Amino acid sequence: MTDIGDHGGWPAILTELTQGRDLSSQAARAALGTVLEGDATDAQLAAFIVALRMKGESVAEISGMVDAMLDNAAPLELPEGVIDIVGTGGSAMRRRAALSVSTMSCFVASAAGASVAKHGNVGASSTSGSFDTLSALGVTTGLDGPGVRLCVEEAGLGFVYAKAFHPAMRFAGPVRSQLAIPTVFNLLGPLSHPGRVLRQLIGVSDAAMQDRVAATFAARGSRHSWVVHGSGLDELTLTGPTRIVEVRDGELSGDFVIEPSDFSLETVTEEAIAGGGPQDNARIALEIFAGTDTGARRDIVALNSGAALVVAGLAADLAEGIGLAMDTLSSGAVLDKLEAVKAVSARAGGA
């Protein structure tokens, strides 16, 4: 790891960016490292992230900043083969009535046999973040590294609270709030899993960033990841087409578009897959898990769970993954999974 002084300090970094030139991975790492160590002023941070956004963040810059995030993250040791299911947030629909699709999909994928450690947070721009929904479901959150590992090992599913594992982000929080525009930090959270998982299903709400996120996964040696954008949503959707960019063994390996009808699923309006606040999402989750909601919300959870089972290596393709997810939902195993996670997380949290 290098110091920002090795790259000319802030004047040199900001001059490069404002003249439209990409930073090296090491320079980007050093710059963000300075921020996360509390050694940058608000003006320097604001200039840095706005200049990056105006130029357009390169893959090398994003990867270097992911390294800086992980340099400053709390440790998390996880077993081999663990997957993450996460979205960047930021879509207009999530600001109106977010459905916690990725959170619900974690329970389904785990009940179907995947080992899952979901990285997430409370809601910032959405009506319900993943950890808001989890709290409403009775899951103990905010666990430390050993607690998360215990949940993954004993229940097959653990939740990694971003604020607990990336405490240095407090130095960036005020500037991000004051700017109130999307910045590179919207991408860094989902890309910076402290357990360094190599299998991910990640949704991006900004289609312009999809290829760069996939290329970053490839550059970082992802084992198997899907980067998806579903008609403005940061997940596979039922409202229209979903573009999927696939990464395998550190290489971009696929780029394809799917429609709901490809899997005998109905194309629906956004209202049909709307959620709400944390209590709304908890109620919807319980109805889906119990098999009493078999409509569009169940279908979009099965669709995303099926994709997660592909990257986990438990399904050969999306059709097989969706079928496995549907069977798992019908069996009652997802409700059992929820109860197991609640019990182990409470024990891990000392409750």
> In this structure, is residue 184 part of a structural domain?
yes
40, 93: one domain = no
CA distance 139 to 99: 18
Tokens of 247: 């990464």
Same domain, 178 and 204: yes
Task: Give the model's pLDDT for residue 127.
Answer: 54
77 falls within a domain:
no
Q: Which of 12, 43, 71 is the last residue of a domain?
A: 71
Is there a single domain that holds both residue 207 and residue 277?
A: yes
Residue 41 within a domain:
yes
With respect to residue 290, please indicate whether it lies within any of the assigned structural domains: yes
Same domain, 200 and 155: yes
Query: 103 and 176 in one domain?
Result: yes
Q: Are residues 54 and 171 in the same domain?
A: no
Are 220 and 293 in a shared domain?
yes
Query: Can you give the pTM of this predicted structure?
Result: 0.93
Say which DSSP state 2 is in.
-
Flag whether 10 is in a domain: yes
Answer yes or no: is pLDDT of 292 > 80.
Answer: yes
Mean pLDDT score, 51-77: 96
Taking alpha carbons only, the member of 3, 76, 75, 73 closest to residue 34 is 3
Q: Is the pLDDT assigned to residue 45 strictly greater than 50?
A: yes
Average pLDDT, integer, range 310-314: 99
Residues 182 and 322 in one domain: yes
Which pLDDT band holds residue 98 (cuts at 50, 70, 90)?
confident
Summarised one tens digit per residue, pLDDT across range 135-155 is 999 999 999 999 999 999 999
Residue 59, domain extent: 4-71
Residue 176: the pLDDT is 86
Averaged pLDDT score across all residues of the chain: 93
**Domain count along the chain:** 2
239/248 Cα distance (integer angstroms): 27
CATH number of domain containing 55:
1.20.970.10
Instruction: Based on the fold, state whether residues 67 and 93 are members of the same structural domain.
Output: no
45 and 94 together in one domain: no
- Does residue 349 form part of some domain? no
Instruction: Flag whether 284 is in a domain.
Output: yes
**Length of the chain counted residue by residue:** 351
Both 43 and 110 in one domain: the answer is no
pLDDT band for position 222 (cuts 50, 70, 90): very high
29, part of any domain: yes
Could you tell me if 149 and 179 lie in one domain? yes
Kindly report the backbone phi and psi dihedral angles of residue 118, in degrees, each rounded to the nearest multiple of 5, phi listed first.
-85, 125
Domain boundary among 34, 51, 71: 71
Of 40, 71, 102, which residue sits at a domain end? 71
Mean pLDDT of 267-293: 93
Distance CA 102, CA 305 (A): 8
| Nearest-angstrom CA–CA distance, 202 and 66 | 15
Q: What is the CATH number of the domain that holds 215?
A: 3.40.1030.10
